[in-house]
């Protein structure tokens, strides 16, 4: 059995929703500076032997020869915007569209891409 986790483009509960579960995320800005959702100070820190600070609304691009490939969007990495709740964050070639750069904060020097399609 194969499960299809894509969201409908009309979904208003999981697609393009802020962490509060109510507010919509701002539109992705694919050139210049990213939208406020992807600010370098909208980050979370895990305190362990080595602290890890990462963006809340993005995931690291794995196997791109940039960063440490742990999936967390940390400083000096290329990442994919994560606007939805759950595993589905869009589909298509994210390199196809232009990228934006975050406003530096506790996470800095990050290039953000986004999937061209979010929902079916």
The tens digit of pLDDT for each residue in 50-98 reads: 899 999 999 999 999 999 999 999 999 999 999 998 889 999 999 887 8
Tell me the pTM. Answer: 0.87
**What is the rounded CA–CA span in Å between residue 49 and residue 59?**
22
Contact by Cβ (8 Å): 102, 39: yes
Contact by Cβ (8 Å): 78, 111: yes
């Amino acid at each position: 059995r194969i499960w299809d986790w894509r969201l409908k483009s009309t979904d208003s509960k999981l697609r393009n929703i802020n962490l509060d579960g109510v507010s919509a995320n701002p539109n992705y800005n694919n050139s210049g500076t990213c939208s406020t959702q992807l600010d370098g100070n909208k980050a979370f820190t895990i305190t362990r032997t080595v602290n890890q600070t990462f963006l809340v609304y993005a995931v690291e691009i794995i196997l791109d020869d940039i960063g440490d490939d742990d999936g967390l969007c940390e400083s000096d990495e290329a990442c994919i915007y994560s606007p939805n709740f759950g595993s589905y964050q869009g589909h298509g070639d994210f390199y196809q569209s232009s990228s934006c750069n975050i406003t530096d904060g506790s996470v800095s020097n990050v290039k953000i891409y986004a999937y061209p399609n979010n929902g079916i």
